[in-house]
Amino acid sequence: MLPFNKPYFTGNETKYIEDAVSSGKISGNGDYTKKCQAFFEQHYGFKKCLLTTSCTDALEMAAILIDIQPGDEVIMPSYTFVSTANAFVLRGAKIVFADSRKDHPNMDENAIEGLITTKTKAIVPVHYAGVACEMDTIMEIAKKHNIYVIEDAAQAIDSYYIGKDNIRRPLGSIGHMAAFSFHETKNIISGEGGLLAINDEEFINRAEIIWEKGTNRSSFFRGEVDKYGWVDIGSSFLPSEIIAAFLWAQLENLKQIQTVRKNHWEGYFDKLSDWAGANQIELPKVPEYATNNGHMFYLVCNSLEQRTKLLGYLKQNRILAVFHYISLHTSPFYAPKHEGGELPETDRFTDTLVRLPLFYELNPDEVIEALLKF
């Protein structure tokens, strides 16, 4: 069976893990942690970066940092992974779901302002498939209503937004904060892992405290205080040096990994365009204001029935393709709490979207040849 995903190893992961172990420092915030954080700050211009054990943890830190309280409202897409919502639900927030765009699973930026109330605390745009949401509009709305923007950039490493000023900005650098994922299904991996990117200096000092279980331990090790103690709420958000060492081996090869993945994506797009049109299947759209980071290649079928047949056909041909999110507003947990209206575009993507295999060592032609016979 051709898998949907296969983790790629550069060859230096175990070497760096052995180095971390031999150093005698395998708890968090060691040399490899610092190297990874510095890479993101220098390469993408984030003001402060903190590695976390997951993207979920990074989102939970963001929720604490903007002081989410019971009754606060947070606007986000319904077509997203449950972690996007859970981070804020855990702090007592009410989730207000926005529909997807007609041409892309990303949230419809034109639907946001109508959802804002006096209780709205934040907007959480999710850059689905590594393709940017329309951030100029989102930031303008947020500024107008004095609310925070937390980018869920779990899938969006090394992807960019091209604003109305024609400046390319890395995804994750536009909102007040952003969360990234290094789960084994992502472009750059550490098995499990994440990153909180902070772009507003207001949050930097407190973020480090929350990251260190609510203590000023980091300040102590830098010699800024003569002892450290419990000064705020927090949790054990930082990963071990073993995870950071693995991640560093990946980051060293970011350019190569991205080149290969984007080539696979382009191969799919070029060779499936005629077939897709003949079968009334939509291929991914990358708006003019966005770039493609080769994270995901998906198809949008014309019906649930067609998708079911397509998935079954690929499975018969020993190719594992999968659907994606079930709309959060229809989930068993949140459906009773959802007070908004119907979200037809979100539900359409729930019923019709198919993700094709995409990983470094993939030969896309194996999948393409099978699809052309469907």
**Catalytic residue list:** 186
Amino acid symbol at 256: Q
Per-position DSSP letters for 243-287, written without gaps between them: HHHHHHHHHTTHHHHHHHHHHHHHHHHHHHHHHHHHTT-BPP---
Q: Are 262 and 286 in contact (CB under 8 A)?
A: no
Q: What are phi and psi of 95, to 5 degrees?
A: -90, 130
CA 263 to each of CA 14, 67, 188: distance values in angstroms, whole numbers, following the listed order: 27, 42, 16
- Neighbour tally for 280: CB within 10 Å: 11
Collapsed DSSP state (helix, strand, coil) of residue 224: coil
Orientation angle between helical segments 31-44 and 241-251, nearest 10 degrees:
40
Cβ neighbors of 43 (< 8 A, separation 6 or more) are none
Output DSSP code: residue 125: -
Instruction: Dig out the tokens for 237 from the structure.
Output: 């958000």
Q: Are 293 and 159 in contact (CB under 8 A)?
A: yes
Q: What is the CA radius of gyration of the chain?
A: 21
Cβ neighbors of 28 (< 8 A, separation 6 or more) are 51, 238, 239, 240, 241, 244
Q: Are 287 and 130 in contact (CB under 8 A)?
A: no
Query: Which contacts of 271-278 are long-range, i.e. CB under 8 A and separated by 24 or more positions?
Result: 271/364, 271/365, 271/368, 271/372, 272/299, 272/368, 272/371, 272/372, 275/371, 275/372
Cα 319 off chain centre by:
25
Residues in the chain, overall count? 374
